[in-house]
Structure 1
Amino acid sequence: MRNVKPILVLAVCTLLFGGLHATREQQEGPPVNDKQDDFCSIRNTTFQSGEVLAYNVYYSIIGIYVNAANATFTVNQERLNNRPVYHITGVGKTTSSLEWVSKVNDRFETFMDTGTLQPYKFVRNIQEDSYKKFETVTFNRNAGTAITNEGVYKVPGCVQDVVSALYFARNINFDKYKEGDKINFNMFLENEVYNMYIRYLGKENIKTRYGKFRAVKFKPLLIKGTVFEGGEKMTVWVSDDENRIPLRVESPLKVGTIKVDMMGYQNLRYPLSSLRSLR
């Protein structure tokens, strides 16, 4: 049962926080192309201050899914250094029934420019049993640097953190792309810049634990690590409406499978018109 701990941690802090957790085993991403320029010029048309999204994280090793953790995401509009920002907070906790295996209480935050959706600051506060880690990253756009607890690192002009990437990706206009197209972007994590991409897979109807939806389907590039095998193993479905909220995330692990379902929402910017029926 000791192997369950990293799986639960990654389920909460990785699958929902962009699905793009990276380790020191860096894998080369695709070369930058014109589609990344489109990604850098995206503006927010999907979410608003006050939005709350709630998720259940399920883990399976023998075909039976167990509710392993819960996560919530909140959006608030604030000011940081006299600049308007979206303060987005993601909190992940193991369920009480599994705290005897591993107790996780993790908090991730990003502060994004309301105009460009580029992050100014990223905060990670991890509490996993006796292990604790607090990290801040400050992005200096003028200098092209990211300042962390461990030093100063060069970053490109258009770069995301693991939380801002999720909300940035919600604003992709997938109608511009054909099935199989890749949309490239850069991510800063663990003091490294990673060349990432999302592969668009079209639209389909899905049934989740919440209900039946019209959905947009895509696969993000995963970085090879201790639990993920890397490559395009994860699948993400977002609502096929103006909100583009993540509805379901699925991914095989080296041991077992993870599934994440949206189970509640508040203060969406638009009606959830992609919902066809409740479960």
Structure 2
Amino acid sequence: MRKAFFVFILLSGCILLAFNEPVAMPDKLADTAFKAGELLNYRMKYGIFTAAEAHLKIEESDVKFDGKPAYHIIADGATAGSFDVFYKVRNRYESYIDKTTLLPYLYTENRHEGSWHHTDKVAFNHGDDKITANSGTYPFNGKVFDFPSAYYFARNLDVSKLKIGETFDMRYFLDNGIQTLSITFIGREKVKCALGTFNCLKFSPTIIPGHIFRKNSKLYLWITDDNNRIPVKAHVEVVVGSLTMELTDAKGLKFPLNAVMK
């Protein structure tokens, strides 16, 4: 469950990461889909049982990078209920991003999962195209993100020209290298969560079967089809049962979150 929790929280929170064509990736953003002070809360369920909770917030940073102001992103994930008794998880991910380009300057993670503990500190040098982590230095080209920064950057991309069935890639740094994951646009649907029913964009990433996912497992994510572009629900089948994550609260949004039905 440790790895299932980690993979699902991160993928469902940041599914839109870094696009190739047909989605244009701007170098600078004149405006953003969010503002400092936004707070999103999620609940993950295993079948009918609450397994974990996650919180994602963005605020003004007290730290400047290269003399430039930055946003500070904080993402927390923790097991809940009976899952917290049998296998305690306390994970925290932080990212500092440029306020104009939304590219990451610094990423840290602090993960406590049962008796296992892992930390990492990742610095992004976009001038020299190098990523420096605890495990070493990695060259890169183009736009590469960490998980939290990828999520906020992706919310500002123009996906209006995407066609059903089109597949694109995401690029992000994790552990010991730059990873790529293919994602397919499924279409538009109305989806119900704890806050109501919303018009959403539906996406599905490629899943590698193994100890967590079934051979034919599909991971789906629904994102509000409005100016906020926030995930309201995600679902995936695992080897035994399924995991579902849904939005339970949203505060400090830049735009109204208008439900179709409540």
Residue 179 of structure 2 corresponds to 194
Is the Cα–Cα contact under 8 Å of residues 15 and 249 in structure 1 kept in the other structure? Answer: no
Specify the SS of the correspondent of 2:226.
coil
Residue 57 of structure 2 corresponds to 74
C-alpha displacement of 1:196: 2.8
CA distance in 2, matches of 1:139, 1:230: 35
CA distance in 1, matches of 2:121, 2:75: 15
Residue 245 of structure 2 corresponds to 260
CA distance in 1, matches of 2:210, 2:95: 23
Residue 139 of structure 2 corresponds to 154
Deviation string 1:150-186 (CA, Å, 9 cap, x unpaired) is 1111122311112222222222222122112223332
Does 2:39 correspond to 1:52?
yes
Residue type matched to 2:171 in 1? N
C-alpha displacement of 1:229: 5.6
Residue 167 of structure 1 corresponds to 152
CA distance in 1, matches of 2:253, 2:172: 26
232-241 or 104-113: bigger deviation: 232-241
**C-alpha RMSD of matched pairs (Å):** 2.4
Aligned partner (choices 14, 25, 28) of residue 39 of structure 1: 25
Q: 1:115-130, aligned counterparts within 5 Å?
A: 115-130=100-115
When residues 171 and 198 of structure 1 are mapped into structure 2, their CA distance, relative to the original with a 3 A threshold, is farther
Is the Cα–Cα contact under 8 Å of residues 35 and 254 in structure 2 kept in the other structure? Answer: yes
Q: 1:220-235, aligned counterparts within 5 Å?
A: 220-222=205-207, 226-228=211-213, 233-235=218-220
Residue 102 of structure 1 corresponds to 87
Paired-residue identity, %? 31
Is the Cα–Cα contact under 8 Å of residues 220 and 232 in structure 1 kept in the other structure? Answer: no
C-alpha displacement of 1:10: 3.6
Specify the SS of the correspondent of 1:56.
strand
Residue 178 of structure 1 corresponds to 163
Does 2:261 correspond to 1:277?
yes
Specify the SS of the correspondent of 1:173.
coil
Residue 4 of structure 2 corresponds to 7
Please, which runs of 5 or more residues in structure 1 have no aligned partner? Answer: 21-31
When residues 19 and 177 of structure 1 are mapped into structure 2, their CA distance, relative to the original with a 3 A threshold, is closer
CA distance in 2, matches of 1:80, 1:9: 30
Deviation string 1:59-97 (CA, Å, 9 cap, x unpaired) is 12xxxx211000000001224323222211110011143
TM-score (norm 2): 0.88
Aligned length: 257
Residue type matched to 1:132 in 2? H
Does 2:14 correspond to 1:18?
yes
C-alpha displacement of 1:209: 3.1
Residue 25 of structure 1 corresponds to none
When residues 171 and 214 of structure 1 are mapped into structure 2, their CA distance, relative to the original with a 3 A threshold, is same
Question: After TM superposition, where is structure 1 displaced by more than 4 Å over at least 4 residues in a row?
Answer: 223-226, 229-232
When residues 231 and 111 of structure 1 are mapped into structure 2, their CA distance, relative to the original with a 3 A threshold, is farther
Deviation string 1:99-144 (CA, Å, 9 cap, x unpaired) is 2210111001111111112111111100112211110110111111
